[in-house]
């Protein structure tokens, strides 16, 4: 009896909502911005299971944002369910700040995030992402202008830098707080470290000691066990989940339930049902030319749920249309998950009706 009481106590010991200005993030589980992935179709799939406290857009190029059409842009399309929603900005020059923030205000953002950590060479060549961490004065100007231009919660996402340097990282993080950043997410890897390298969660703990604003840990959280270990090592105020969310969209619910004591329903997971729902969302919300690429990107992660999932990924990657990709996926499910496919009868019928309306 006493053992069960202790287990229940430990289950809820870390729970607390984060309140940033008027925004409540509860539970403190955030979706990471991911190019080609963190769009409306994935966001609503995650919401179907619950447990996410703050959603995110994909990385948005600040210089293009003022001219984007919210009804047509694959980066901006959303449903009324997708709230609270943070808009992540890729800023390369201070002149982009005010016009971009005026745009996100029009779009109805709940929060704004500044991308200071993307290591992609193309992004760095443009003067954005992790390249900004090497120019503290430029970042100070950008953050200061952003703080002057919005009353929304303002966050930033960083990596640990080029090399382990406590003083340099401490100065950078304290500068961000001093210029008005409300919440800081730390991807616990150095700029050049690939995803296959283990994250340095203990360094998130160092950052937490240096600043008084909430610090969120990010990097290689694929399970409840990963989440618990990361929180134990880092002492972070919450977690940001990226690739794990695309791989298992119910991960937020599992972590919310098991670690934060959130009342998330237990669902019977049917992977074919989930896949069909995802494609339905793509075909209903995105213009035709923006659907197939996003389906291929999602399938790369989704397919790891199967022992022979690489065959599904290859089949979809080589498809010429969404219709062909779905047909190939059905063939894969028939061979590898017939019970799951049978349970997806309703979603399958809905999707095939949508696809019959036009070749995509």
The Cα–Cα gap between 180 and 171 comes to 14
Residue 148: what are its φ and ψ, rounded to 5°? -70, -25
Local confidence band at 241 (pLDDT 50, 70, 90 cut-offs):
very high
Tell me the per-residue pLDDT of 140-172, one tens digit each, with 9 for 90 and over: 999 999 999 999 999 999 999 989 999 999 999
The Cα–Cα gap between 205 and 202 comes to 5
| 3-class DSSP state of 177 | helix
Per-residue pLDDT, averaged over 205-229, amounts to: 98
Task: State residue 46's pLDDT score.
Answer: 98
Local confidence band at 199 (pLDDT 50, 70, 90 cut-offs):
very high
Which two structure tokens, joined as six digits, stand for 125? 């060549």
Task: State residue 358's pLDDT score.
Answer: 61
Peptide bond into 224 cis (omega under 30): no
Per-residue pLDDT, averaged over 210-229, amounts to: 97
Q: Is 196 a catalytic residue?
A: no
Nearest CA to 77 among 318, 347, 335, 284? 284
Task: State residue 16's pLDDT score.
Answer: 73
Give the HSE-up count for residue 95: Cα atoms under 13 Å, Cβ half-sphere.
Answer: 3
Residue 154 has a CB neighbour count (10 Å cut-off) of 24
pTM for this predicted structure: 0.93
Tell me the per-residue pLDDT of 32-42, one tens digit each, with 9 for 90 and over: 999 999 999 99
Task: State residue 332's pLDDT score.
Answer: 98
Nearest CA to 314 among 329, 335, 327? 329
Tell me the per-residue pLDDT of 98-123, one tens digit each, with 9 for 90 and over: 999 999 999 999 999 999 988 878 88
The whole-chain average pLDDT of the chain stands at 93
Residue 179: what are its φ and ψ, rounded to 5°? -85, -5
pLDDT exceeds 60 at position 14: no
Residue 88: what are its φ and ψ, rounded to 5°? -95, 130
The Cα–Cα gap between 60 and 224 comes to 30
- Bridge-partner residues for 154, per DSSP? 112
The Cα–Cα gap between 173 and 156 comes to 10
Task: State residue 210's pLDDT score.
Answer: 98
Local confidence band at 15 (pLDDT 50, 70, 90 cut-offs):
low
| 3-class DSSP state of 322 | helix
Domains in the chain with CATH codes: 2-258 (3.20.20.70), 271-356 (no CATH)
Per-residue pLDDT, averaged over 184-210, amounts to: 93
Burial of 89 (0-12, 13-18, 19+ CB in 10 A): buried
The CA angle 312-317-318, to the nearest 5 degrees, is 105
Residue 216: what are its φ and ψ, rounded to 5°? -110, 135
Task: Specify the residue for token string 């990924």.
Answer: 313
Tell me the per-residue pLDDT of 278-330, one tens digit each, with 9 for 90 and over: 999 999 999 999 999 999 999 999 999 999 999 999 999 999 999 999 999 99
Which residues in the chain belong to E strands, given as ranges? 18-20, 23-25, 29-31, 55-61, 85-90, 111-115, 154-158, 183-187, 215-218, 238-241
**How many percent of the chain have pLDDT more than 90?**
85
DSSP state of 33: P
Beta-carbon contacts of residue 309 (< 8 Å; ≥ 6 apart): 302, 303
Tell me the per-residue pLDDT of 242-272, one tens digit each, with 9 for 90 and over: 999 999 999 999 999 999 999 999 989 999 9
Tell me the per-residue pLDDT of 50-98, one tens digit each, with 9 for 90 and over: 999 999 999 999 999 999 999 889 999 999 999 999 999 999 999 999 9
Task: State residue 251's pLDDT score.
Answer: 98
Q: Give CA 77 to chain center in angstroms.
A: 16
Which two structure tokens, joined as six digits, stand for 306? 């199967």
Per-residue pLDDT, averaged over 1-27, amounts to: 65
The Cα–Cα gap between 310 and 270 comes to 19
How many residues are present in the chain? Answer: 360
Catalytic residue among 118, 230, 264, 280: 118
| 3-class DSSP state of 203 | helix
């Amino acid at each position: 009896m006493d053992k069960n009481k202790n287990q229940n106590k430990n289950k809820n010991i870390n729970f607390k909502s984060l309140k940033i200005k008027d925004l409540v993030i509860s539970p403190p589980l955030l979706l990471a911005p991911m190019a080609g992935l963190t769009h409306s179709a994935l966001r609503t799939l995650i919401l179907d299971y619950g447990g996410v406290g703050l959603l995110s857009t994909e990385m948005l190029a600040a210089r293009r944002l003022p001219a984007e059409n919210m009804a047509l842009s694959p980066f901006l399309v959303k449903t009324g369910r997708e709230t609270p929603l943070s808009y992540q900005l890729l800023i390369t020059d201070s002149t982009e700040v005010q016009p971009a923030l005026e745009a996100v205000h029009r779009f109805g953002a709940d929060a704004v995030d500044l991308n200071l950590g993307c290591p992609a060479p193309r992004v760095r060549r443009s003067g954005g992402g992790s390249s900004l961490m090497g120019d503290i004065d430029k970042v100070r100007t950008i953050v200061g202008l952003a703080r002057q231009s919005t009353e929304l919660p303002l966050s930033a996402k960083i990596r640990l830098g080029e090399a382990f340097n406590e003083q340099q990282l401490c100065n950078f993080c304290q500068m961000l707080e001093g210029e008005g950043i409300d919440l800081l997410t730390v991807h616990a890897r150095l700029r050049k470290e690939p995803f296959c390298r283990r994250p340095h969660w203990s360094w998130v703990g160092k950052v937490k000691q240096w600043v008084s604003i909430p610090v969120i840990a990010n990097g290689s959280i694929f399970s409840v066990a990963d989440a618990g270990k990361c929180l134990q090592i880092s002492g972070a105020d919450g977690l940001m989940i990226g690739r794990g969310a695309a791989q298992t969209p119910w991960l937020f619910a599992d972590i919310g339930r098991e670690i934060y004591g959130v009342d998330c329903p237990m669902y019977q997971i049917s992977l074919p049902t989930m896949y069909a729902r995802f494609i339905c969302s793509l075909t209903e919300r995105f213009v035709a030319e923006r659907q197939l690429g996003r389906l291929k990107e999602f399938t790369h992660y989704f397919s790891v749920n199967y022992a022979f999932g690489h065959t599904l990924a290859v089949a979809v990657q080589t498809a010429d249309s969404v219709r062909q990709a779905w047909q190939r996926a059905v063939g894969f499910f028939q061979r590898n998950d017939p019970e799951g496919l049978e349970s997806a009868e309703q979603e399958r019928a809905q999707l095939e009706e949508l696809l019959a309306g036009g070749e995509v």
